[in-house]
Amino acid sequence: MNPTTLASVASSAPLIDIDLTVFIQFGLFLVMLAVSNKLLFKPYLALRERRAEGIEGARAEADRMTAEADAKLAEYERQLATARTQAADEQRQVRAAAAAHEREVTGAARTTAAAALEEARQKVRSETEAARKDLLPRAEALGKQMTTRLLGREVA
């Protein structure tokens, strides 16, 4: 459209006539508003409200479950720490018992070894003493015999 036609159409007649049809249009608007409110707006707003409540309920449930999971995790960690402490205590007790048993066995072995060693020493002493008693009287005769053999003559 060119500007001259637009200007001629605009100047020829008013765009809106204010007469009885305005009241009819206003009445129709109110009827449509009431119908739309009942059929569209209220159900839509109720749906949004239910959705918001559902989301809020789900959030609250998620928060509750998260708190419950955190509490269970803390309890699990506490029990795990207790079990580790008990295991460490039992391990120390077992090691202490093993060390005591080792000392006991080692002490008994040392005592037995010392007794056996002392018995062997005593036996060697007694055999040495017996050999001395046996060989001392013969030592002079053996010495003369060896001297005679080495020198080749009789020694007095």
Which tens digits make up the pLDDT trace of 47-75? Answer: 999 999 999 999 999 999 999 999 999 99
Q: How far apart are CA 97 and CA 137, in angstroms?
A: 60
Domain spans, the chain = 21-151
Give residue 72's identity as a one-letter amino acid code. K
Question: Which has the minimum average pLDDT: 72-86, 97-111, 140-154?
Answer: 140-154
The more confident residue out of 45 and 22 is 45
- Per-residue confidence band for 4, with pLDDT thresholds at 50, 70 and 90: low
Question: pTM for this structure?
Answer: 0.45
Q: How far apart are CA 95 and CA 101, in angstroms?
A: 10
Structure tokens given for 33 = 């508003």
